[in-house]
Amino acid sequence: MMSQHVAEIRWPTFSIIIPTYDRPQHLSACLESVAAQHYPPALIDVVVVDDGGPAPLEGVIAPFRSRLPVTLLRQARAGPGAARNAGAAQAKGEFLAFTDDDCRPAPDWLQALARRLTTASRAVVGGPMRNALPDNVYSAASHVLAEAVDAYFNTEPSRARHLFSGNLALSRADFQAVGGFDATLMTSEDRDFCDRCLEHGCRLIFAQEAVVSHIRPLTLHTFWRQHFEYGRGTFDYHRRRATRGSIPFRFDGLFYVHMLRHPFVQRAGPRALTLSVLLSITQAAKTIGLLWQWSRHVAGRRGMTSHEDAHVLGRIGHR
């Protein structure tokens, strides 16, 4: 139940966009977290976008319709960026809030986002992604990497440089002005989106209080595959940047030192060492994925000059 203080505040309307693919149990838990928001239900609508999953989702969503207005869209498999764009096109709220089907927003998530968005113009607001599976060392390592990114690139929260798409909000007008997510990117679409927001004059704000928990169990195989795919996405992301003439990234070796040290900031002993080793593996997997995607790109474009190849390949980013 909302406190009297919360009820007296004039809150903006939100559309919550949730892309999903073949994870009905995760989606149900995500919707439960959305329904439990300490936010006036009349000011929320939810758009779930089924990205071509094999099972129908109406049975998952039906129990929530008495608590939230939920729209279910279905599209052929096209990736998370395309799914978010489809959801945003159906949104009714003044602001859009994005999360994923394997995420659990904290009960005060929308409140935290609303406070930031209503006190800053042309703002894109995001918060931390917390690991909900601390006993899974591979999930923990992936989230330590996300923590390292936040700690390094968002040292000035009001001038953040990177936000994750599982915890992201902005006005519907700004989303449309930026052009939405790049639907051709299967990963790194949040990095690309944040870049284009900055290029369009928006400000990124990292809100430590806007917390989303992430539940993604990983094995060694899926951990490697995840970061291999991030590498492939990194190549495509930098190719998009090169195409639109963005300022290229400079290689920042200090980030990698920071990343490998980060597990020891709040931990000690064998656990911290294990996480640091796994972070090294993420970068190996990412590099191999990047080179794999580069080789496929070159094979598909025999006319690309070696200068263009080097220009794109040299734009290796961080994550």
In terms of domains, do 76 and 118 share one? yes
Bridge-partner residues for 103, per DSSP?
214
* Residue 74 confidence (pLDDT): 96
What's the whole-number average pLDDT of the chain?
A: 91
Question: Model's pTM, two decimal places?
Answer: 0.89
* Residue 143 confidence (pLDDT): 96
In terms of domains, do 29 and 119 share one? yes
In terms of domains, do 232 and 211 share one? no
In terms of domains, do 289 and 185 share one? no
Bridge-partner residues for 95, per DSSP?
14, 171
In terms of domains, do 253 and 303 share one? yes
- Answer yes or no: is 154 within a domain: no
Q: Is 49 helix (H, G, I), strand (E, B) or coil?
A: strand
- Answer yes or no: is 279 within a domain: yes
Gap between the Cα atoms of 48 and 90, Å rounded: 10
- Answer yes or no: is 108 within a domain: yes
- Choosing from 216, 233, 249, the residue where a domain stops is 216
81-111 pLDDT, tens digit per residue, is: 999 999 999 999 999 999 999 999 999 999 9
| Residue with more model confidence, 315 or 133 | 133
Place of tokens 């009905």: 24
* Residue 314 confidence (pLDDT): 46
- Answer yes or no: is 136 within a domain: no
In terms of domains, do 185 and 284 share one? no
In terms of domains, do 84 and 229 share one? no
Gap between the Cα atoms of 219 and 222, Å rounded: 5
In terms of domains, do 203 and 280 share one? no
Domain that holds residue 298: 225-313
Q: What is the mean pLDDT of residues 268-283?
A: 94
* Residue 218 confidence (pLDDT): 97
Nearest CA to 20 out of 74, 62, 88, 94 is that of: 74
Q: How confident is the model at residue 242 (pLDDT cuts 50, 70, 90)?
A: confident
- Answer yes or no: is 245 within a domain: yes
* Residue 302 confidence (pLDDT): 61
Percent of the chain at pLDDT > 90 equals 82
- Answer yes or no: is 260 within a domain: yes
Q: Which of 133-147, 239-253, 266-280 has the lowest mean pLDDT?
A: 239-253
- Give the number of other CB atoms < 10 A from CB of residue 165: 22
| Domain count along the chain | 2
Bridge-partner residues for 18, per DSSP?
48
In terms of domains, do 171 and 304 share one? no
In terms of domains, do 212 and 235 share one? no
* Residue 268 confidence (pLDDT): 80
* Residue 131 confidence (pLDDT): 96
In terms of domains, do 33 and 103 share one? yes
* Residue 300 confidence (pLDDT): 81
Q: What is the mean pLDDT of residues 270-297?
A: 95
User: Are 217 and 132 contacting, i.e. CB atoms less than 8 angstroms apart?
Assistant: no
Q: How confident is the model at residue 8 (pLDDT cuts 50, 70, 90)?
A: low
72-89 pLDDT, tens digit per residue, is: 999 999 999 999 999 999
- Answer yes or no: is 152 within a domain: no
Q: Let me know if 128 is exposed, middle or buried by CB neighbors in 10 A (0-12, 13-18, 19+).
A: buried
In terms of domains, do 259 and 114 share one? no
